[in-house]
Homo-oligomer: A and B are copies of this chain.
Amino acid sequence: MAGNSYGTLYKVTTFGESHGEALGGIIDGCPSGIELDFEAIEVEMSRRKPGQSAIVTQRKEPDAVQFLSGIFEGKTTGTPIGFIIPNTNQKSDDYSHIKDNYRPSHADYVYDQKYGFRDYRGGGRSSARETASRVVAGAIAKQMLPQIKINAYVSSVGPIHLETPYQELDFSKIESNPVRCPDEKSAAIMEEYIRDIRKQGDTVGGVVSCVIQNVPVGLGEPVFDKLHAELGKAMLSINAVKGFEYGSGFSGSEMKGSEHNDLYNPDGTTKTNLSGGIQGGISNGMDIYFRVAFKPVATIMQTQDSLDNKGNITPMTGKGRHDPCVVPRAVPIVEAMAAIVLADFYLINKTY
């Protein structure tokens, strides 16, 4: 375990720093014969990238993916898919102010402690830019499993919550607004809130909900590699994530068994689905749904104290980029990681 791979049979390994030459990765284990829709991959990339709207950072990242192997005549060959995403914005001087400074609630300090020094440019490896590679791998995983529908959306921005159950939402509206909230009224309020936060030079957290449909019964490997345990790990590995719950989640902990149990229909489906589509760590064929909590981005445009590497506390003001609410951009990343987890289990559990 060196930390930069996920998966067993659908195995994704990524590399790349925020301001290095390029990001990229290797998808090992993708089955052969999949006719790739490269436009669909680009769509996912554009959903993740900064600068999509007024409420997200305006930094330009033309995330053009170059595939280097594992694809021949438009189809996957079964051999590893290597890809790179060149970084076009490598100006080191943008980040000279953090060279010797540890920004609060960033990974600067721990990287220096762990590795002795760090690529200080823009967060280096700990930058969320790293997730671009995940989106590529997830986009291909989605194409490997076209029958499975994965829809993530923003269900909270700061104190504003969308309480509507997912069953009553129209997922086709997720992309209709910059917040990626399928409920237009809530979306408008959230957007207004984010604009206000932006003016303050501040940031705010939020929650991404995700629904996975048409999953076959049987995915998951108890007792340690339960389906929801892997989903949880995958989500928690995304930058800024602080919590994961599936099915009834934390609110389920307040319930009684008589309320929480999902009674069966004769066909094996259940009348309710507080289980969240997973029982005993194995998919039961019902919708899988979960929620992922994101903290506010640490880089704010206000002045805050930072620590320099000589032990001095010095005030620092965020420069350049400002992403008041990263949560809308996290939507495709959540979907990507879900797709990767499912692809891996799909390969593992269709065996024999």
Does chain B have a CB within 8 A of A195?
Answer: no
Q: Which of B4, B20, B236, B249 contacts A242 (CB 8 A)?
A: B249
**Which of B204, B261, B275 contacts A300, CB < 8 Å?**
B261
Measured between beta carbons, the chain B residues less than 8 angstroms from A204 are 255-257
With A and B bound together, what is the CA distance between A17 and B200 in angstroms?
A: 52
- Complex interface: stretch among A47-55, A167-175, A181-189, A344-352: A344-352
> How far is A263 from B305 in the complex, measured between Cα atoms in Å?
6
Nearest-neighbour CB distance to chain B for A196, whole angstroms, equals 11
Known: A2-B221, A69-B22, A279-B105. A79 touches B114 (CB 8 A): no
B20 touches A2 (CB 8 A): no
Interface centre among A23, A222, A284 (most CB of B within 10 A): A222
A31-B352, A33-B116, A225-B1 given; A253·B156 CB < 8 A:
yes
Of the candidate stretches A6-14, A37-45, A56-64, the one touching chain B is: A6-14
Indicate which residue in B105, B205, B264 contacts A104 across the interface (CB closer than 8 Å). B264
Q: Which residue on chain B has the smallest CB distance to residue A160?
A: B254
Q: How far is the CB of A97 from chain B (nearest CB, A)?
A: 16
List 12 A-B pairs, Cβ < 8 Å: A13-B28, A69-B125, A107-B280, A202-B258, A228-B236, A230-B233, A237-B281, A242-B247, A243-B253, A257-B300, A261-B304, A264-B313
Interface residues of A (CB under 8 A from B): 1-11, 13-17, 20-26, 28-29, 31-33, 66-70, 72, 75, 77-82, 84, 102, 104-107, 109-111, 113-119, 124-126, 130, 156, 158-159, 197, 200, 202-207, 217-218, 220-226, 228-230, 232-234, 236-237, 239, 242-250, 252-268, 270, 274-276, 279-284, 291, 293-300, 302, 304-307, 311-313, 346-352
Task: Given A105-B275, A258-B304, A351-B351, output 9 extra A-B contacts at Cβ < 8 Å.
Answer: A5-B28, A16-B80, A17-B69, A79-B115, A79-B124, A113-B284, A206-B253, A243-B250, A261-B298
